[in-house]
């Protein structure tokens, strides 16, 4: 990789001949295949933008000229060309480069753009700022994938860009026919007609200049198109055709996602280096198909991610009962409300981090109308390697404010299946399940139930009540073992449905010296905060301590590393509990002993 080793910043590219740039593109592809195969990551999108990124960095002078990537998972080549090659040894791991643009890494990363359909709004604002300040010495360039163009915010931006005064702004439309899966809807059909040279384009009809289509794997052709667009001094769409996964046989031959996001794999065979145990996602997927076979009124909705959210098996079993709306979460949620009004029960499967984008629709279009829509939030809590934008650490804080919304947090695969069945059977309003990325792990059976709570552990005196939320039940049990080893009595319960708060938690807290909550969500406004309010309302004076994620954006790393950085380890929580107990008085007079626990039966559900 002789050429690549000499590239420490984009200026080096402008010293290379056309032939050398072609050789550099081949070296970059080999580098990507080697590094991403070792670490996992977004391989296909970056193999598709190698020549495009080289052309961008030869025509424009970053960071003076501002390059905005939408979405940021196609920015690996940009990172390689801006001096971050060494960081790819630990791609998406602690100490390595992020999988998305990252301001802390480089001045070449202007925005940390990892949620789709936002770059055109950023670009419009930057171009307006330059015009306001009288700056004419730099360009604004937004590189947006055709999948991101299915998002409504992109069209809101285009409407304003086209309707305003002329300002220098280059919009590079990277058209590979896909977001995660093939791009859907009328836009996909329109881009296909533009590729074929049929009819006027919607961009020109809006009043934007249009140049293309251009072969995105021909560096010279892309350079010429970009120079032409930059010279016009007004908003221009440069339509570039690329092939996702280009140059690697194992991504080119994968019709499903063309290597969109790969796990660590053997680069020679394309096979994962190790098999994955059953995940929460796969458990959800299997149970949803079972429920759909029993109920013809069940349909599922995805926002361009049928396979990663577990809807692909349902789509294969019942092709007409999975609706892909593209990257349009707001539309997905309100459409679900409409489906519900029409007598259908929708299951909206979406990543936790993306449900933030549809809060208004969930609140006003679903909950206000008490529609029985079921939301399934994958990647809740700490996801780790995808970095700060993809942690699902806000769903419980944000969504607990929604009146009438019932929220469940299953601790294992069996509970997920049970709670999903309960959710779709609920007719009085919306329901939601949230679970993390990764293995479902071993089942954690309940030893008993108490007024709707699953009792996971009960030993010794009534010193500490631990309320375990979802997948952190394992951590709660480890803490129980730790405090029990010091002679401290402990009770561990799982509420199953965390919102609304079960009043039985207040009954139990009243009988213990200390109560703690453990959750994979922000401590600000999370389940712990809701339980604290419940205790106050019930006039329960037992001290409560909430353990969760601090109110800050979390750096990328493994899930275990990120949780440890948040103090969510058995050792940290056990130490905190023992210190808290040491500062408390003895058990209050008249405390009740829970010497008899109700026996669990299925009917109690």
| 298 φ/ψ angles, rounded to the nearest 5 degrees | -85, 130
Q: Confirm whether residue 306 is marked as ligand binding.
A: no
Kindly report, residue by residue over 14-23, the tens digit of the pLDDT: 999 999 999 9
Q: Is 293 a catalytic residue?
A: no
Q: Confirm whether residue 521 is marked as ligand binding.
A: no
Which sign does the torsion angle of CA 27, 33, 38, 44 carry? positive
Picking from 11, 17, 14, 73, the residue whose alpha carbon sits closest to that of residue 42 is 73
Whether pLDDT at 597 is above 70: no
Alpha helices in 356-399 (DSSP H): 359-360, 395-399
CATH class entry, domain 280-434? alpha beta
Q: What is the DSSP letter of 548?
A: E
Do the Cβ atoms of 519 and 472 come closer than 8 Å? yes
Q: Do domains 280-434 and 453-588 have the same CATH topology?
A: yes
Do the Cβ atoms of 332 and 301 come closer than 8 Å? yes
Kindly report, residue by residue over 178-187, the tens digit of the pLDDT: 766 777 788 8
How far apart, in Å, are the Cα atoms of 304 and each of 178, 180, 244, 498, 552? 9, 6, 16, 29, 29
Average pLDDT over residues 315-320: 96
Q: Confirm whether residue 243 is marked as ligand binding.
A: no
Q: Model pTM?
A: 0.90
Q: What is the DSSP letter of 114?
A: -
| Whole-number pLDDT of residue 180 | 66
Of 32-41, 267-276, 444-453, 571-580, which gets the smallest average pLDDT?
267-276
| 351 φ/ψ angles, rounded to the nearest 5 degrees | -70, 145
How many alpha carbons fall within 13 Å on the CB side of residue 174? 33
CA–CA gap between residue 569 and residue 178 (Å, rounded): 40
Q: How far is CA 529 from the centre of its chain?
A: 24
Q: Is 204 a catalytic residue?
A: no
Q: Is 510 a catalytic residue?
A: no
Pick the CATH number of 453-588 from 1.25.10.10, 3.40.50.720, 3.40.50.920, 2.60.40.10: 3.40.50.920
**Which CATH homologous superfamily contains domain 4-252?**
Thiamin diphosphate (ThDP)-binding fold, Pyr/PP domains (3.40.50.970)
Do the Cβ atoms of 464 and 547 come closer than 8 Å? no
Q: Confirm whether residue 218 is marked as ligand binding.
A: no
Distance, first Cα to last Cα, the chain? 62
| Residue of 329, 519, 546, 561 with catalytic role | 329
Kindly report, residue by residue over 562-579, the tens digit of the pLDDT: 888 889 999 999 999 999
Q: Confirm whether residue 116 is marked as ligand binding.
A: yes
Q: Confirm whether residue 98 is marked as ligand binding.
A: no
Q: What is the DSSP letter of 448?
A: E
* 354: number of Cβ within 10 Å: 22
Do the Cβ atoms of 309 and 302 come closer than 8 Å? yes
| Residue of 178, 244, 411, 434 with catalytic role | 244
pLDDT band at 398 (very low <50, low <70, confident <90, very high): very high
Q: Confirm whether residue 147 is marked as ligand binding.
A: yes
Of 378-387, 393-402, 528-537, which gets the smallest average pLDDT?
378-387
Do the Cβ atoms of 299 and 344 come closer than 8 Å? yes
Which residues lie closer than 8 Å to 566 by C-beta, 6 or more apart? 382, 548, 549, 550, 554
Cα 214–Cα 116–Cα 90 angle in degrees, nearest 5: 90
Q: Confirm whether residue 137 is marked as ligand binding.
A: no
| Whole-number pLDDT of residue 557 | 79
Q: Confirm whether residue 248 is marked as ligand binding.
A: yes
| Residue of 29, 79, 178, 357 with catalytic role | 357
CA–CA gap between residue 66 and residue 128 (Å, rounded): 13
Domain boundaries, the chain: 4-252, 280-434, 453-588
CA–CA gap between residue 91 and residue 125 (Å, rounded): 31
| 497-499 sheet: strands from edge to edge | 322-324, 298-302, 345-351, 374-378, 431-434, 406-408, 497-499
């Amino acid at each position: 990789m002789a050429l690549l080793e000499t590239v420490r910043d984009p200026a080096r590219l402008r010293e290379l001949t056309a032939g050398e740039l072609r050789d550099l593109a081949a070296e970059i592809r080999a580098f990507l295949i080697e590094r991403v195969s070792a670490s996992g990551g977004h391989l296909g999108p970056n193999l598709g933008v190698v020549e495009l990124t080289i052309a961008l960095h030869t025509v424009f002078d970053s960071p003076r000229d501002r390059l905005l990537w939408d979405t940021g998972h196609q920015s690996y080549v940009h990172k390689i060309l801006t001096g971050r090659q060494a960081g790819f040894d630990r791609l998406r791991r602690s100490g390595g480069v992020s999988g998305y643009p990252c301001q802390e890494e480089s001045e070449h990363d202007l925005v940390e753009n990892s949620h789709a359909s936002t770059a055109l709004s950023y670009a419009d604002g930057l171009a307006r700022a330059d015009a306001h300040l009288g700056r004419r010495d730099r360009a604004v360039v937004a590189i947006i994938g055709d999948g991101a163009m299915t998002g409504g915010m992109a069209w809101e931006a285009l409407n304003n860009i086209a309707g305003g005064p002329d300002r220098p702004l280059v919009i590079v439309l990277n058209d590979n026919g896909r977001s995660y899966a093939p791009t859907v809807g009328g836009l996909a059909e329109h881009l296909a007609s533009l590729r074929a040279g049929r009819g006027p384009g919607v961009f020109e009809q809006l009043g934007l200049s249009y140049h293309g289509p251009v072969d995105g794997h021909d560096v010279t052709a892309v350079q010429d198109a970009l120079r032409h667009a930059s010279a016009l001094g007004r908003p221009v769409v440069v339509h570039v055709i690329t092939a996702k996964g280009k140059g690697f046989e194992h991504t080119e031959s994968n019709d499903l996602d063309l290597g969109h996001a790969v796990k660590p794999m053997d680069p020679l065979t394309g096979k994962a280096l190790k098999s994955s145990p059953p995940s929460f996602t796969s458990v959800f997927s299997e149970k949803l198909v079972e429920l759909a076979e029993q109920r013809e009124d069940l349909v599922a909705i995805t926002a361009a991610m049928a396979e990663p959210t577990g809807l692909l098996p349902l789509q294969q079993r019942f092709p007409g009962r999975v609706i892909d709306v593209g990257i349009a979460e707001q539309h997905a949620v309100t459409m679900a409300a409409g489906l519900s009004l029409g007598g259908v029960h929708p299951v909206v499967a979406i990543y936790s981090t993306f449900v933030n984008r549809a809060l208004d629709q969930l609140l006003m279009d679903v909950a206000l109308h008490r529609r029985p829509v079921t939301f399934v939030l994958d990647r809740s809590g700490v996801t780790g390697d995808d970095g700060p934008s993809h942690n699902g650490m806000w769903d419980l804080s944000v969504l607990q404010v929604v009146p009438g919304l019932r929220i469940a947090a299953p601790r294992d695969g069996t509970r997920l299946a049970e709670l999903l069945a309960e959710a779709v059977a609920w007719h009085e309003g919306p329901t939601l399940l949230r679970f993390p990325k990764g293995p479902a792990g071993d089942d954690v059976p309940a030893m008993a139930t108490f007024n709707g709570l699953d009792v996971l552990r009960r030993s010794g005196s009534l010193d500490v009540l631990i309320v375990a939320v979802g997948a952190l039940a394992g951590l709660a049990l480890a803490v129980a073992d730790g405090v029990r080893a010091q002679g401290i009595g402990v009770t561990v319960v799982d509420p199953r449905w965390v919102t609304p708060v079960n009043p039985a938690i207040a009954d139990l807290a009243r009988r213990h010296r200390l109560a703690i909550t453990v959750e994979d969500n922000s401590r600000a406004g999370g389940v712990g905060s809701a339980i604290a309010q419940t205790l106050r309302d019930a006039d329960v004076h037992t001290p409560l301590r909430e353990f969760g994620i601090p109110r800050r954006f979390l750096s990328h790393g493994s899930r275990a590393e990120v949780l440890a950085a948040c103090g969510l380890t058995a050792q940290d929580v056990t130490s905190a509990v023992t210190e808290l107990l040491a500062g408390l008085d003895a058990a209050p007079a008249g405390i009740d002993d829970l010497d008899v626990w109700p026996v669990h039966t299925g009917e109690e559900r």
